[in-house]
Amino acid sequence: MYCPDCGSPVDENGMCTSCGLDVNAKNASGAARAPQTVAPAKKSDSGLRTVGFVFMIISMVYVVISAFSDPSTVTISINHYLVTYGAPTVASVIGGLIPLAWMIPMTVHANKIRTYQAPNTVAFGVCTLIFVNLIGGILLLCANKDR
């Protein structure tokens, strides 16, 4: 656990090791202060996390667009494509959308990492690199690790 004020570790008694705040003490409203579960990262780190998240979003949009398009008809107009080739086949749509089964949950988790609600780990960075987006994974690996 980490101090909600300064981000330093909290000992087993609920006392901050840096600023001395009693995390278990009641605040003005009578509720106990909730300690942070993830250590706050440096400000320079948030840019890497945000850009990595944006690249993951771009990858998901690309997967959806490529599932409904035929690469051989890129220069042909939409009306000509529908008349000549018909709608995209069911197999190409389903096959193109299957990667979203892991890309969507991983992107949601990357957003939690971006907002410091979940820890940034090497394992998640490597999985992002392999399964979602090369650049996004590299950026998450370069960002400060929370564990």
Give residue-wise pLDDT tens across range 86-140.
Answer: 555 666 667 778 888 999 999 999 999 998 888 899 999 999 999 999 999 999 9
Comparing C-alpha atoms, which of 61, 59, 42 is closest to residue 129? 59
For residue 63, pLDDT beyond 90: no
Range ranked top by mean pLDDT from 54-68, 69-83, 95-109, 124-138 = 124-138
Give the torsion through C-alpha atoms of 44, 45, 46, 49, to 10 deg. Answer: 140
The answer to pTM > 0.75 is: no
